[in-house]
Amino acid sequence: MTAQEAEALKGLADLALPGPVSWLPQTWGWAVVGAVLLVLLVWGLVRWRRRWKANRYRAEAVAEIAALEATLGDRAARAPALAAMPPIVKRAALAAWPRSEVARLSGPAWVKFLRAHGELPKEAARLLEDAEYRPVGMLAAVSEAEARACARALRAWVKEHRASA
């Protein structure tokens, strides 16, 4: 490098770089879009929470029936488990419909109500129709396969019934 070139290089200055670009929106339109998105997010969360709370009874009833279903293999525990299932379904219905509409139902009227609001196979309907009138000893005569089918049907009804309230 010659002296003249070195002298020319000393006189050069560094390039002036622009400042960093701001991440904040530069127009009010973006603020409006952000506010609308925030409102929609809050609305969605509130709606989800309400739905979750409104359907919590379903999850609790399904868990109770599943716990009873696990005991159906034991012949001695089968009758008490079968006797405990109809009240669980009744509590689930009471959580979804007004007490005045559900609490008085029993026997064929109760089964008709359940069928009107969800699918209920004949085996489960027969058990529900007269389970409250059968002594626990008679429920012991129900086979394990029939008891499991009934438990599955009741679990499915609780999960999938169409609540109008």
The predicted pLDDT at position 59 comes to: 93
Q: Is the pLDDT of residue 140 over 80?
A: no
Distance between CA atoms of residues 63 and 154, nearest Å: 12
Share of the chain above pLDDT 90, in %: 37
Please tell me the predicted confidence (pLDDT) of residue 132: 67
pLDDT of residue 143: 83
- Return the structure tokens found at 40: 């929609």
**Cα–Cα distances in angstroms (integers) from residue 23 to residues 38, 58, 89, 131, in the given order:** 18, 46, 55, 68
What is the structure's pLDDT at 64?
Answer: 95
Mean local confidence (pLDDT), 96-115:
89
Q: DSSP 3-state helix, strand, coil percentages of the chain (rounded to 5)?
A: 70, 0, 30
- Environment class of 157 (CB within 10 Å of its CB; exposed 0-12, middle 13-18, buried 19+): buried
> pLDDT digit string (tens) for 68-97?
999 988 888 888 888 889 899 999 999 989
**What are the boundaries of each domain within the chain?**
57-160
> Tens digit of pLDDT for each residue in 18-67?
889 888 888 889 889 999 999 999 999 999 999 999 889 999 999 999 99
Window from 9-13, 57-61, 157-161 with minimum mean pLDDT: 9-13
